[in-house]
Structure 1
Amino acid sequence: MTIDLDGPEPLFEQIATVMAARIADGTYPPRRRIPGEHDLCEEFGVSRPTVRSAIGLLADKGLVITVRGKGRYVADA
């Protein structure tokens, strides 16, 4: 999936959709860390607040959890 920088959907929602698909297909397996904010910013060509919003959306859906001092992980299936 690619991000449509000029489309009507907010970038953070597009990124969250891509990441949710990766969780669903096992690219990001359960109980494993997702890529860091810096790496995601580079991959998608967006700012850190945009990536944080996308991760927040995934957290709201129960797909990722934050472990203080360790990072963000895919939630158990």
Structure 2
Amino acid sequence: MVIDADGPVPLYEQVAAILRQRIAAGELPPDRPIPSVARLQQEHGIARGTALHAVRVLVEEGLAYVVQGKGTYVRRQT
């Protein structure tokens, strides 16, 4: 999926959607880290704040959890 910087959907929502798809497809398995903020910036050409916002959305949705000092991981779905 490609980011559409000129489209109506905010960039952070587009990145969150990409990560959701990767989780659903098993590309990002449970209890494994999601790409770092720096990696998301590099892969999608987005600002740090945008990447952080996308990750925060996944945490708020219950798809990911934060391990202090280690990163953000995919939550096991029950």
Compute the TM-score of the two structures, normalised by the length of structure 1: 0.97
Match of 2:19 in 1: 19
Shift of 1:35: 1.0
- What is the root-mean-square deviation in Å for CA atoms of aligned residues? 0.6
CA deviation vs aligned residue, 1:21-66 (integer Å, no higher than 9, x gap): 0000011000001111101100000000000000011111100100
Q: Following TM superposition, by how much is the alpha carbon of 1:70 offset from its aligned partner in structure 2, in angstroms?
A: 1.1
Match of 1:37 in 2: 37
Helix, strand or coil: the match of 1:31? coil
SS at structure 1 position matched to 2:27:
coil
**AA paired with 2:59?**
A
Percent sequence identity over aligned pairs: 45
CA positional deviation for 1:20 = 0.3
Following TM superposition, where does structure 1 have runs of at least 4 consecutive aligned residues deviating by more than 4 angstroms? Answer: none
Return 5+ residue gaps in structure 1 as ranges: none
Q: 1:76 maps to which residue? A: 76
Say how many residue pairs are matched.
Answer: 77
Q: Which amino acid aligns with 2:37?
A: E
* Partner AA of 1:27 in structure 2: E
